């Protein structure tokens, strides 16, 4: 039976296979950290973890390459935990089940972890292979990138010595990224005194599923539906038509993943519950969304059914204010870069909504490659939830990575790519947040480029990696290391 360990190049795929066997969702990295530390030490290389849990491994230059500029190979060890609703999987305990599907590798009902496991596997292959030609190498494998880039933020500036940073966390082979968006988390919280539900009221549970979700930076421009936004429309309509009352809401679970599912529990008077089913509102809303997202979302479902009556619900005035704010807040693409009209400049993702037990909590990730637009977007989001009298705070802010089109390593890599593959690589700025912006601010003067194999739909169970692109990506990495200029 063919497994991913038999794919080419085997020295990369064997390491990726090993990573899939180690549970490594953000916040649960002890096992993968020990695995990486053991790997480096077994190779006899200087290996250590810093105070933030990043792993650093140093490999000396090969003979004759000692004067080349030091290169930092950088990736992150954590992965986004997302799964299909009917998939039984515990990301803190269970390995990822990989599937070879034609020219692609995917997982069985979960995220694959190719973001950024493929980059880490390539770093491991370079460290292990003593036949390669390269200058001094430092591997930097950061912790908790997906939940807030905490490893990059916590790295001490004098930890690394390299002058070139190759970030292996991009998702399109043949593209070289030299800039990225900055980000900012916006969190709105409200604590309220719940009201008791009436014994005669009917509780209905609504479940919205089947959305594509995906990466809130890379795929925000594709017009995919946001489960929290759709649920806000539905809940608002239930309030308007049937005077329903909101008791609970759960939608999304990752700040940088477009939410795929949301559920809400609402209270109806018996006659209004009957009218809801007579009117077939759920079917009506679903048909509307299927029409609006035709060609984008093919598997939307919205179910409605009786639920056990919760004892408490939101006060009417609080409910109306919070639902109105959810309807009003911006979600999705806001603006594109004027000089690069195919690249999103500014966007937001209504990522997580939690309502119940006397607390409403809303988390949004705002992105922009323009700091003033990021500040404007954050201010407008804060104003939106201020109007609902929610407590709003911003956190985790980081600036974008500004492109340097005169980068020496970029020139080397463009030449190398032409020589290897006979085509010109595309030089781009990516709307996703890369750690380059943070690391570049900590170590001024770093010459940086980000690249990687071709991935699709990271941060969702549809995540997959294109098998032929992995060989091209790794061959290009090896050739780049051999051509790094002298210091």
Region of 485 please: left (phi>0), alpha (psi -120 to 50) or beta.
beta
**Residue 11 burial (10 A CB sphere; 0-12, 13-18, 19+):** middle
Which of 115, 145, 201, 463 is flagged as catalytic? 145
**Residue 237 burial (10 A CB sphere; 0-12, 13-18, 19+):** middle
Catalytic, 78? Answer yes
User: Token digits for 221?
Assistant: 């421009």
User: Token digits for 373?
Assistant: 């637009």
Cα–Cα–Cα angle for 425, 427, 432, rounded to 5 degrees: 120
CA 218 to chain centre: 9
Catalytic, 250? Answer no
What is the three-state SS of the chain? CCCHHHCCCHHHHHHHHHHHCCCCECCCCHHHHHHHHHHHHHCCCEEEECCCCCEEEEECCCCCCCCECCEEEEEECCECCCECCCCCCCCCCCCCCEEEECCEEEECCECCCHHHHHHHHHHHHHHHCCCCCCCCEEEEEECCCCCCCHHHHHCCCCCCCCCEEEECCCCCCCEEEEEECEEEEEEEEEECCCEECCCCCEEEEEEEECCCCCECCCCHHHCCCCHHHHHHHHHHHHHHHHCCEEEEEEECCCCCECCCCEEEEEEECHHHHHHHHHHCHHHHHHHHHHHHCCCCCCCCEEEEEECCCCCEECCHHHHHHHHHHHHHCCCEEEEEECCEEEEEEEEEEEEEEEEECCEEEEEEEEEECCHHHHHHHHHHHHHHHHCCCCEEEEEEEECCECCCCCCHHHHHHHHHHHHHHCCCCEEEEECCCCCHHHHHHHCCCCEEEECCCCEECCCCCCCEEEHHHHHHHHHHHHHHHHCCCEC
Which of 17, 78, 345, 435 is flagged as catalytic? 78
How large is the greatest C-alpha to C-alpha distance in the chain, in angstroms? 84
Residues labelled catalytic: 78, 145
């Amino acid at each position: 039976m063919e497994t991913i360990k038999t794919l080419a190049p085997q020295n990369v795929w064997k390491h990726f296979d090993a990573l899939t066997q180690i549970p490594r969702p953000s916040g649960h990295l002890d096992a993968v950290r020990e695995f990486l530390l053991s790997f480096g030490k077994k190779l006899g290389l200087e290996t250590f973890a810093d105070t933030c849990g990043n792993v650093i491994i140093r490999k000396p230059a090969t003979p004759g390459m000692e004067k080349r500029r030091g290169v930092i190979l950088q990736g992150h060890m954590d992965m986004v935990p997302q799964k299909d609703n009917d998939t039984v999987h515990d990301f803190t305990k269970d390995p990822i089940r990989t599937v070879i599907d034609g020219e692609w590798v995917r997982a069985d009902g979960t995220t694959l972890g190719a973001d950024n496991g493929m980059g880490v596997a390539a770093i491991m292959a370079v460290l292990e292979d003593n036949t390669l030609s390269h200058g001094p190498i430092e591997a930097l494998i950061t912790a908790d990138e997906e939940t807030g880039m905490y490893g990059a933020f916590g790295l001490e500036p004098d930890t690394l010595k390299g002058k070139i940073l190759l970030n292996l966390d991009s998702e399109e082979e043949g593209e070289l990224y030299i800039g990225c968006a900055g980000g900012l988390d916006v969190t709105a919280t409200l604590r309220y005194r719940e009201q008791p539900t009436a014994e005669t009221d009917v509780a209905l549970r609504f479940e919205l599923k089947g959305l594509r979700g995906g990466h809130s930076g890379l795929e925000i421009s594709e017009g995919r539906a946001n489960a929290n936004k759709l649920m806000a429309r539905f809940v608002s309509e239930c309030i308007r038509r049937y005077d329903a009352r909101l008791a609970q809401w759960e939608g999304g679970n990752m700040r940088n993943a477009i939410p795929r599912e949301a559920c809400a529990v609402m209270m109806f008077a018996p006659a209004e519950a009957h009218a809801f089913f007579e009117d077939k509102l759920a079917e009506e809303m679903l048909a509307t969304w299927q029409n609006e997202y035709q060609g984008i979302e093919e598997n939307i479902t919205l179910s409605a059914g009786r639920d056990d009556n919760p004892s408490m619900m939101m006060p009417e005035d609080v409910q109306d204010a919070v639902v109105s704010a959810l309807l009003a807040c911006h979600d999705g693409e806001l603006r594109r870069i004027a000089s690069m009209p195919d690249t999103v400049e500014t966007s937001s993702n209504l990522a997580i909504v939690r309502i119940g037990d006397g607390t409403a909590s809303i988390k949004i990730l705002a992105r922009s490659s323009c700091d003033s637009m990021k500040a404007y977007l954050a201010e407008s989001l804060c104003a939106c939830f201020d109007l609902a009298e929610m407590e709003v705070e911003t956190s985790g802010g980081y600036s974008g990575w500004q492109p340097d089109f005169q980068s020496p390593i970029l020139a080397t890599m463009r030449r190398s790519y032409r020589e290897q593959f006979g085509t010109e690589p595309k030089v781009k700025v990516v709307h996703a947040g890369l750690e380059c912006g943070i690391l570049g601010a900590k170590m001024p003067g770093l010459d940086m480029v980000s690249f990687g194999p071709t991935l699709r739909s990271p941060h969702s169970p549809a995540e997959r990696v294109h098998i032929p692109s992995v060989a091209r990506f790794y061959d290009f990495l090896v050739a780049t290391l051999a051509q790094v200029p002298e210091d």
